Structure 1
Amino acid sequence: MRTDIPADRHGSFARAVKSLVVPRPIAWVSSRSAAGIDNLAPHSFFTVASSTPTIVQFVSVGEKDSLRNIRQTREFVVNFAPAGLFEQINATGTDYPAEISEFDAVGLTREPSLTVSVPRVAESPAALECRLHGDPLAIGDSFLVFGAVTHVVVDEQAVDERGPVVRALRPIARLGRDEWGELGRIRSIRRAPYRDVEPEADLP
């Protein structure tokens, strides 16, 4: 038996979808207003949009400070969201007034970025510095924001000759309801090229 989720004005469809599209990586976005106020907020609709050029995307559900700041300055940073900063990440999701910086409110340290004016979170093990690519795209009640990655930085303890090491980074992910998740079992498998999996032709 299955349960049908009715579409209604109370948003049960959206809640169900957010509980099923999991785990969702978190874009912990730092931005700066035209007045110089640094904002920091988690956005859990986040992924890569393009490999070449390297572009990431996140969704602002509604017009929030992150979106307003990025429209003004066209710069932002996606800070990595590690399990060790779980409480602070959640706290920066509070709807602080625009004149209050979440960096100060939750006790995080600003770190200068290399290619943008927006600061990084010093306590985060990695960051993607970005410039706005195009204009935010309105979709329903949300806005899709694209960022061209201009610089990548990773703690030396969390990177090897092949790149970032996920076990060392310990990402945290958003689930449904008030639930969050951490890394569980990690499996590795290589993609097999078609020539290795195609069936042998029938012999005459």
Structure 2
Amino acid sequence: MYYETSKNDHGLPFNPFKAIVSPRPIGWISSLDNEGRANLAPYSFFNAIGDAPPMVMFSSSGYKDSVSNIDKTGEFVCNMASWSLKDEMNVSSAPVPHETSEFGLAGLKTAPSRLVKPPRVADALTALECKHLKTMRMTALDGSETDSYVVFGQVVAVHIDDSLVHDGRVDVTRIKPLSRLGYKDYAVIETVFEMDRPDI
């Protein structure tokens, strides 16, 4: 099949775009507003964009609390959304009023960060403390503004649960990170394999 995204004439009952761009890691973003109230929300348009220095990004459909908080305070944390926390992650995605803490809503404990003020998810197996670099509101090909906001951050500190380290490496199968697929679908990483790059 073939379709043009401007027409969205795929003829399917649901848009297949996010099912094709998958799996996507989930950035479980914690932040604080100006009054020190904690916010926690998962974003499936999330990834690392560099390692020297380490940098990450996430994109929000709409100028949501996470984006607003980070723009104002300049700090956030990317918590690992893993199999063991799948239900809590899902609860934290609920559209609740600004003053409602998703930590409390999902029954999650907080843990202090070291170099930034937003708390971490205490039971998250890894967490990346980040300083805000910039936020971009994306524009379409015709120059019109979209409702997509991309937040860029530099990772200044990393937390790793000691149980994950095996033979000097972080064992991702012990984390079982969640990934977002299309529709209402998720997957969990439990199997990995190695391939050497070709030496030409």
- Normalised TM-score (structure 2): 0.89
AA matched with 2:53: P
169, 178, 184: which one aligns with 1:163: 169
Q: Does the CA-based 8 Å contact 1:88-1:106 persist in structure 2?
A: yes
Q: Does the CA-based 8 Å contact 2:173-2:190 persist in structure 1?
A: no
The corresponding residue for 1:122 is 122
Q: Do the aligned partners of residues 180 and 193 (structure 1) sit closer, same or farther apart at CA in structure 2, a change above 3 Å counting?
A: same
Unaligned residue ranges in structure 2 (runs of 5+)? 139-145
The corresponding residue for 2:92 is 92
CA RMSD, 1 decimal: 2.1
Q: Do the aligned partners of residues 16 and 155 (structure 1) sit closer, same or farther apart at CA in structure 2, a change above 3 Å counting?
A: same
Count of matched residue pairs: 192
Give the number of the structure whose residues are more often helix, by fraction: 1
Q: Do the aligned partners of residues 98 and 10 (structure 1) sit closer, same or farther apart at CA in structure 2, a change above 3 Å counting?
A: farther
Unaligned residue ranges in structure 1 (runs of 5+)? 195-204
Runs of 4 or more, structure 1, over 6 Å off, are 9-14
Q: Do the aligned partners of residues 21 and 73 (structure 1) sit closer, same or farther apart at CA in structure 2, a change above 3 Å counting?
A: same
Task: Tell me the SS of whatever aligns to 1:136.
Answer: strand
Identical counterparts, % of pairs: 35
Q: Which moved more, 1:181-190 or 1:28-37?
A: 181-190
Larger radius of gyration: 1
Map 1:178-193 → 2, pairs under 5 A: 178-193=184-199
Q: Matched residues in 2 for 1:70 and 1:6: separation?
A: 31
The corresponding residue for 1:174 is 180
Per the TM alignment, residue 51 of structure 1 is displaced from its structure 2 partner at its CA by 1.6
Q: Matched residues in 2 for 1:119 and 1:96: separation?
A: 19
- Normalised TM-score (structure 1): 0.88
AA matched with 2:19: S
The corresponding residue for 1:137 is 136
Per the TM alignment, residue 142 of structure 1 is displaced from its structure 2 partner at its CA by 0.6
Is 2:82 the partner of 1:82?
yes
Give the number of the structure whose residues are more often strand, by fraction: 2
The corresponding residue for 2:141 is none
Q: Does the CA-based 8 Å contact 2:34-2:69 persist in structure 1?
A: yes
Q: Does the CA-based 8 Å contact 1:5-1:12 persist in structure 2?
A: no
